[in-house]
Amino acid sequence: MRSLSEIDTVSKRSSKAAGYSWGIAEEIGKNIRLLEIFSLPGIRNLNSFFKKKKELRLENISIIKQDNEANKNEYCPIIAGVNFLDQIKTLETLNEITFKKVSYPLLFLPFVSRAAEVIGKRIFLKMDDREFLLNFNNNIYSNYTKNEIIESAENIYLKVLENRDSFEEKEWNELYKLSEETFVEENESLKQGGAGAGLTDND
Amino acid sequence: MNISLRDPNVVMKLSRLGSFHQSKLSFLRSFLKEFKDWDYKRDLFELNEHGYGTAVYSFKKKNRVYSLICFANELNENERSDRVIATKWDAAFTLFDGVPLKQDIERLKNEVPKQEFGRLSYKELTLSRANKSVRVFNHVVECLSEGKQPDNDLITSVGYLYRTTAVYGSGKFGLADRFRIKDREEIYGPFRLEMMLVYLVRQFTFDQVNHVAKSKNPKKAVSLDINICKSLGIGNSTGLGMAPFIVNHPTLLNNWISAREISLKKIREIKAVSEKDKNLFLECLKKSIKNITSWNTESEYQINKIKSLLKDLNEFIVYLDNDFNFEQDYAFNELYLYLEKEYCEECIEYVVSMMMEPYDNITSPLIKEMSSEEEKYFNIPTERTVEDLKLILEKKYPDILTIDFTKNENNLNFWFISKNKEEPRLANRFDEVGAELEQPLAIARDIKKLYELLSVTKNSWTIAKFLSTNNELRHVVRRAFIVEKFPYSEIQDNTIGQKIMPIDMLRLKLSFFGALKFDPRSDKWLRICMFQGAPLPEQLKNHDEHWVYN
C-alpha cells in the first residue's frame, strides 16, 4: 500500500511535469492525498487526466462568476479548482454557482472541500447525477462510491449551505431536558456552602 | 528585563545556522530523556559465526512496544559504499510498531535489505541501513577474540563500528504516515523514532562484534569493555538530501529555531544566576573542550573552524574565570552581549548551547513544541491584499530583496532531483544540463521576482485576483504568509549563489539531531557521529543528562 506521503509527493511532482507551476503542483499533491483519504479515486483520475490533458485542449478560467460556461472545450479542473479555492470568500456570497463542461471533475472536488473549511460552511456539490456533501473538509458524504474515472461533467452545481441546525427546536428542548437530569438540585445548605457561595457577581 | 528575540535576519543567515551545535534541545538527547523509563530488551539474536542473521531489540512501556529488527548480511568488499547510490549494505534495519510476528520478520527479511527498492507497510515506522567501519570492526574482533581490549587511539579517532547512510521515516517507501502516530505523547519531539532506531542500532553493533569475536575464539574471547562501548557512537554519512528538507518544512524549521531562541531569551532574562547553575554551565563548557580537541577532520574548511572555535573558547574561559562577575544582575545577558562583541559565530552559538545546560525548566517545555502541524498553514489567505504581501516581503526579507539575480554569480546553481536515486543535488546551471527541471528551492530568487511583480500591481488587489494570473509564483506567496506568522521559518540567504556552502544547511539540521564532530568530506557531504558517550540501554534509567561532556 502506498503511504499518503508518497501519494502527495508523486502527485505533486507529476503535476509539475504535466505543466503546472510548483505552487499549483503543491495544491494537487494535497488534494489527491485528500481524495485517497476519503476513499475516492484520486490517483486513477489524475493519472488518466495527465495522459489525456494535451489532446483535451482545456480552457482555463481565472475569475469565477455565478454561472460559468466554457466556450469551446471543457474547463481544466485544476485551474478552475485553484481559482475557486482562492476566490471562495467572494464566491460565498453568491450562494449558488454552476459550471458547465468540466473535465475530470473529481479533481475539482477537493478544492471545494478545502474551500468549505476556509469559510466554515458545508458545500453541496452535484456533478451531473453524483451528489457530494463537503463537510468542512473533515469528511465527504456522497451517493457516489465507485472507484472509476470520470472524464467529464456536463454540469456542476454548487450550493453554499448556511450554518443551520439540522433538528427542530422542540427536539433540542426535549434532549436538553433529559440532560438536566444529570444536575443536582441545590438546597439551602448547598447554596450556602458550594463553590462561589457568598460572592456577589454583580459588583 | 524583557530581552527581544534575536533578529531572524541575523540568526537565519546560513553562516550562522551552519555554526549551530548540539544542545539540550537536540533530538537524540531529548529522546534518551523521554525513553529512560522504558523497558529495554534484546528479544532475538540469531546470528551465525560471521555475525550474519537477524536480531530484534525493543523498548516497552505499558502496552506500547517499539521493536528494532536488524538484518545483517554478507557484503563483498567491492560492494560496500556510503554513497546513496549503493544497493547493498552490511546491515539493514526497520523500527516496527509493536511486537513483530514471525511472518512479519519473514516479510521484512525480503524488503528491508533492499531499502529504497523494498516495500514497507504502515506497521513499520523507520528504515535504515549501515556499513561497517571495516578497519575498526575487524580490529575490535581480532583484539576481543584474543582476550584483549582494542586500541583506544583507533577507537577514539573513528568513534563508531558502523555508520548509517540514510534513515527514512514519515511514509517513505510505504512506511507509516506521521498522522498514524502523531498523537503519541512519547514522540512529541521531532525525529524521536529515527533517533530510537539509531540508538538501538548502536547496541546491535556492540552485540554483533562481541558475538563474532566469541565465535572466532570461544575460549579466549572477552566482551568489549562497557566504557569503550559508551565511547562509541554510530557514524553517519550525510549528503544533500537534508538540505531541501529544511526549505520544504518551514514551520518545522521555525519551531526548532524558535525553541532555541526562546531558550536564549529566557536565560538572558534571568536576573540572578544561582551558584549551582553557574557551576553547571562552567563545568559543561570546560569539559566540552575535550569534544573539540578530539574532533578529527581532513577538511581544511572545518579544521580552520575548529581552530578558531578552540582559540575563542579558551580565551573565553580565561575571561570567565578571571574577569567575569556572575553575581551581577542578568549575568547571562552580559555574557551574551560580550560574546557578540568579541567572538565569531561558531563560538557564539557554541556558548549559547552551553548556556541551556542548567535550565531544564526552560528547555523541557519547549521540546514538546518542536514538532509542527504543517498542513494547518498550507492555505493561502487570498482575501489579503497585494499591499499586505508587499509589506510582508519588505519586513521579512530585507536582505534578500537587495540581491541582484541578473548577475550570474547570484543565480549560478540549481537544485534538482537525480533520476537514479531520487536524491536532491546541486549543479551549476551554466555548465550542466537540467536547469529547466529546477526544484522550487531558490526561494530568495523567487521572493525577489514576486516583489518585483507586486511592485507593478495595484495595491488594492486581493491575493486571489493577483494569483488568478500569476500562479507561477504561488509557492513563494504561500511561504511569505507563513513567514509572517513564523519568523524563523525562512533561510535569509541565497541558496543558489556562488558562495553557497550546502554543508551549512546540513550542519543546521544535524546540530538539532545532536550530532557531534562534523567532518566535511566536501562542501556537499559530511560525516558525523551520534550517541558517542551516551549511556547504554541498560544504563538509561537515572542516566546523567550531561553525558555529552563526560
CA distance B64 to chain A (A): 23
| Cβ neighbours, 10 Å, residue B156 | 14
ipTM reported for the complex, 2 dp: 0.89
Provide the number of structural domains found in chain B: 2
Q: What is the pLDDT of residue A198?
A: 57
Q: What is the pLDDT of residue A195?
A: 65
pLDDT at B295 over 90: no
List the domain boundaries for chain A.
4-160
Most B CBs within 10 A among A22, A30, A79, hence the mutation to make, goes to A22
**In chain A, what residues touch B170 (CB-CB under 8 Å)?**
5
pLDDT at A202 over 60: no
Using CB atoms, which residue from A1, A2, A114 is nearest to B379? A114
**How many cross-chain Cβ pairs, A to B, lie less than 8 Å apart?**
79
Q: Could you give the 3-state DSSP secondary structure of residue B142?
A: helix
pLDDT at B259 over 60: yes
Q: Indicate the residue among B453, B470, B485 that finishes a domain.
A: B485
Is B443 inside any structural domain? yes
Is B218 inside any structural domain? yes
CB-CB under 8 Å, B176 with A3:
yes
Using CB atoms, which residue from A5, A22, A85 is nearest to B172? A5
pLDDT at B85 over 70: no
CB-CB under 8 Å, B171 with A3:
yes
CB-CB under 8 Å, B464 with A90:
yes
Is B2 inside any structural domain? no
CB-CB under 8 Å, B177 with A30:
no
What is the span of the domain harbouring residue B457?
Answer: 376-485
B90-128 residue pLDDT tens? 999 999 999 999 999 999 999 999 998 999 999 999 999
CB-CB under 8 Å, B468 with A4:
no
Q: Shortest CA distance to B221 belongs to which of B238, B209, B235?
A: B209
CA distance B387 to chain A (A): 17
**In chain B, what residues touch A63 (CB-CB under 8 Å)?**
465, 468
C-alpha B162/C-alpha B205 separation (Å) is 7
Beta bridge partners of B72: B53, B91
**In chain A, what residues touch B464 (CB-CB under 8 Å)?**
83, 86-87, 89-90
Helix H or strand E segment including B38: none
A192 or B40, which is more confident? B40
pLDDT at B83 over 80: no
* A residues 30-69 closer than 8 Å to B (CB): 30, 62-63
Percentage of chain B beyond pLDDT 70 is 99
**In chain B, what residues touch A138 (CB-CB under 8 Å)?**
none
A95-141 residue pLDDT tens? 899 999 999 999 999 999 999 999 999 999 999 999 999 999 999 99
Q: Shortest CA distance to A82 belongs to which of B210, B123, B382?
A: B382
Angle at alpha carbon of residue B395, lines to B392 and B399, rounded to 5°: 120
Q: What is the 3-state secondary structure (H, E, C) of chain A?
A: CCCHHHHHHHHHHHHHHCCCCHHHHHHHHHHHHHHHHCCCCHHHHHHHHHHHHHHHCCECCCCCCCEEECCCCCECHHHHHHHHHHCHHHHHHHCEEEEEEEECHHHCHHHHHHHHHHHCCCEEEEECCEEEEEECCCEEEECCCCCCCCCEEEEEEEEECCCCCCCCHHHHHHHHHHHHHHCCCCCHHHHHHCCCCCCCCCC
B434-476 residue pLDDT tens? 999 999 999 999 999 999 999 999 999 999 999 999 999 999 9
Is B222 inside any structural domain? yes
Q: Where does the pLDDT of residue A196 fall: very low under 50, low under 70, confident under 90, or very high at 90 and above?
A: low
Is B429 inside any structural domain? yes
B423-436 residue pLDDT tens? 888 999 999 999 99
CB-CB under 8 Å, B122 with A23:
no
Q: For residue B186, give Cα distances in angstroms to A128, A188, B175, B358, B429.
A: 48, 48, 19, 23, 45
Strands (E) in B207-284, as ranges, are 233-238
Is B491 inside any structural domain? no
Q: If you average pLDDT over residues B387-401, what whole number do you get?
A: 98
Using CB atoms, which residue from B174, B375, B472 is nearest to A3? B174
CB-CB under 8 Å, A4 with B474:
no
Q: What is the DSSP string of B374-420?
A: GGGG-S--TTSBHHHHHHHHHHH-TTGGG--TTSGGGS-EEEEE-TT
B507 or A66, which is more confident? A66
C-alpha B477/C-alpha B481 separation (Å) is 7
Q: Could you give the 3-state DSSP secondary structure of residue B244?
A: helix
Q: If you average pLDDT over residues B539-547, what whole number do you get?
A: 92
Q: What is the pLDDT of residue B76?
A: 83
| Residue A34: closest C-alpha in chain B | B375
Q: What is the pLDDT of residue B446?
A: 98
Q: Shortest CA distance to B238 belongs to which of B458, B533, B547, B521?
A: B521
Q: Shortest CA distance to A161 belongs to which of A95, A104, A99?
A: A95
B357-371 residue pLDDT tens? 999 999 999 999 999
CB B514 within 8 A of CB B233: no
**In chain B, what residues touch A2 (CB-CB under 8 Å)?**
174
Is B3 inside any structural domain? no
Helices H / strands E in chain B, number of each: 20, 11
Q: Indicate the residue among B179, B207, B239 that finishes a domain.
A: B239
Q: Which residues of B touch A (CB under 8 A)?
A: 121-122, 170-179, 375, 378-380, 382-383, 417, 440, 462-465, 467-469, 471-478
Q: Shortest CA distance to B77 belongs to which of B159, B134, B130, B128?
A: B134
CB-CB under 8 Å, A62 with B477:
no
Find how far residue B278's CA is from the centre of its chain: 28
CA distance A166 to chain B (A): 28
On whether any CB of chain B is under 8 Å from the CB of A2, the answer is yes
Q: Where does the pLDDT of residue B345 fall: very low under 50, low under 70, confident under 90, or very high at 90 and above?
A: very high
